Structure 1
Amino acid sequence: MKLYSFQVRTPVGTFTRVGALLGSKLVDLNMAYARMLADRNEAQPYRLADAAVPSTMLELLEGGPSAMAAARQALDYASRLGDQASGPEGEAIAYLPANVRIIAPLPNPPSLRDFIAFEEHIAATSRKRGQPIPPEWYKAPVYYKGNHRTIIGPDEDLPWPLQTTKLDYELELACVIGRRGRDVSEREAADYIAGYTIMNDFSARDIQFQEMACRLGPAKGKDFATAIGPCLVTPDEIPDLNALTMIARVNGEVWSRGRFGTIHWTFPQMIAHVSRGETIYPGDLFGSGTVGGGCGLELDRFLNPGDVVELEIQPIGVLRTRIVKQPERENPS
């Protein structure tokens, strides 16, 4: 499934829903499941649907494999109902993407860990510092914890942050955890992945390197925003993860191109490492780190106000962000 989070405006407010792509439309999985239950003469279809297929992405992930199985059942039922399908009381089930607002597939992950798992990238960044790859990097997958409260979604503007002079994009794939676990073995770890999405780990390089000179961080240099999207693709939709091509464009020009299969530390290895003596939870977001050549730092090119950054990994899609200059604040008199 290709799972999206989207917002619908109604006379009584804006509601966030989780949907799956069916042809050219988004199916509201919770409402489709409620319709299925109503057609089976269940007395409380809405209440049962809320428990089986929650209406938001994080709640759906927290439901684990049984909730995902029910979501697939709802999508299959909607496909058999046809274009005129409606909920038990006439509610919309299917939406044209142009008529709703697509937001980050998981706008509220409980945590964000971003790894540095591509050898080519850490080699390039180490050279920038005049250093070799630290030998410790080969002993275990290394990560930092990012700000999980500054997630932005597809086609969302990024205000120019922190008066940086070196704003950078980072071309990454991310996995989302779908089951709670602790001391997960590498062999079992793939079963804990609910799906994959594109991640842009935006970085203010000048601020980042100033922080990390103190042997801590990154912090402010990255915490201002992480973009993910446009959707969460379940593992069955990607038979060969290593074959994925990763592309970054700035204003339509290709700046970066890589292949996920060049990664050194795999997602199962990351999951096994993080879960050692520590619990992982549904919705936890794991970034792969930047693919080799997948950022401006490696190219000595940085972003400017007005730039449009597009990261593309098919079959997930394109994650687009426009950089906007914030108006300068007037000094109080």
Structure 2
Amino acid sequence: MRLLNVAGRAVLETPEGRTDVATASAGRFGPDPQSLYGNWAEFSAWAATAQPTGDQPGGPLLSPVPRPPQVFAVGLNYVSHAEETGLAAATGRPLTFTKFPSSIAGPDGDLVLSGDQVDWEVELVAVIGSPAHRVSPDQAWDHIAGLTAGQDFSDRAVQMAGAPPQFSLGKSFLGYGPLGPALVTPDEVPDRDDLLLTCQVNGETVQEGRSSLMIHPVAELVSELSQICPLGPGDVIFTGTPDGVGMGHTPPRYLKRGDTVVTTIQGIGTMTHRCVGGPA
């Protein structure tokens, strides 16, 4: 299943076209995409047999998870990224922080830069579909609704300020957590544990990595987080980024007004964001 948020309405996307969920289900499921995660088992069973209507609901694509109750993020989850930052890889318990839910945005639009040290981080994002508390890694995928692409845009000046530095605020400016273009169920992707992630800035590929290189794979992250925090429907987990971020360049390279960031994950799709404000 591929689930879109088209102008605030839940829409299924198939090769035959798009199907408005509320209309096709005769109101059994509402139009709000966020509401579907609270009834994911019933919804996904219906979606598997729903007859495509072939219609084309119009409007902008928004985040397939517009209002996640909890937003977790994992740092230094790829050895290559840890090495480029000069920090130790998170080989013990995952290095976990949060992006506040107000940072969530859609897969296309303007990114308002908060300063002159805003960085990019392509990330695979897992979305919870059923409550998970103290689950094992073997059980974890049963609690995942699907996967989507994410960007963990980061204001490094804010992130690294203070002693010790505090990650969450520098990663939570408005629009710094875009998701999309679709929520894709694991059976729809080529290999749920080995997907290609790329990020381009102005057409130049700056990041290219595979999710199979995570130190803590998706199932392990869900299990580890669930040992402490009960995970609920619609929660999202940013799973970390491979090497190639701006702060890893010599000298560091950050986003500036007029730049275009293109984020792509194999089997999920592409997001495009244009930088406005900030330095020229």
Do these two structures clear the TM 0.5 threshold for a shared fold by scoring above it? yes
SS in 1 for 2:88: coil
Which blocks of at least 5 consecutive residues in structure 2 are unaligned?
Answer: none
Q: In the alignment, what sits opposite 1:176? A: 127
Does residue 35 of structure 2 align to residue 59 of structure 1?
yes
SS in 1 for 2:206: strand
- Aligned equivalents of 2:139, 2:260: Cα separation in 1: 39
**Counterpart contact for 1:106–1:283, Cα < 8 Å:** yes
Return the letter of the residue paired with 1:296.
Answer: G
Q: In the alignment, what sits opposite 2:47? A: 71
Q: In the alignment, what sits opposite 1:42? A: none
Which blocks of at least 5 consecutive residues in structure 1 are unaligned?
Answer: 8-15, 35-45, 84-93, 328-333
> What is the alpha-carbon root mean square deviation over aligned residues?
1.8
Q: In the alignment, what sits opposite 1:218? A: 167
Identity in percent: 30
Q: In the alignment, what sits opposite 2:71? A: 112
* Shift, 1:323, TM fit: 0.7
* Shift, 1:326, TM fit: 6.5
Aligned counterparts, 1:96-245, within 5 A: 99-116=58-75, 117-125=77-85, 127=86, 133=88, 137-161=90-114, 164-211=115-162, 214-224=163-173, 225-245=176-196
Return the letter of the residue paired with 2:92.
Answer: K
Aligned counterparts, 1:4-83, within 5 A: 4-7=4-7, 16-23=8-15, 25-34=17-26, 46=27, 49=28, 53-74=29-50, 77-78=51-52, 83=54
Paired residue total: 274
Normalising by structure 2, we get a TM-score of 0.92
* CA deviations over 1:70-91 (Å, ceiling 9, x no partner): 12222xx235xxx4xxxxxxxx
Could you say if the C-alpha distance between residues 307 and 277 of structure 1 is closer, same or farther in structure 2, counting changes exceeding 3 Å?
A: closer
| Structure having greater relative contact order (Cα 8 Å, sep ≥ 6) | 2
Does residue 257 of structure 2 align to residue 305 of structure 1?
yes
Q: In the alignment, what sits opposite 2:216? A: 265
Return the letter of the residue paired with 1:244.
Answer: L
Larger proportion of helix: 1
* CA deviations over 1:66-120 (Å, ceiling 9, x no partner): 221112222xx235xxx4xxxxxxxxxx215xx3211111111111100022122
* CA deviations over 1:132-178 (Å, ceiling 9, x no partner): 516xx3221121011111211111211121xx221111011100000
* CA deviations over 1:10-50 (Å, ceiling 9, x no partner): xxxxxx2101112263211221121xxxxxxxxxxx3xx1x
**Counterpart contact for 2:5–2:11, Cα < 8 Å:** yes
Q: In the alignment, what sits opposite 2:56? A: 95
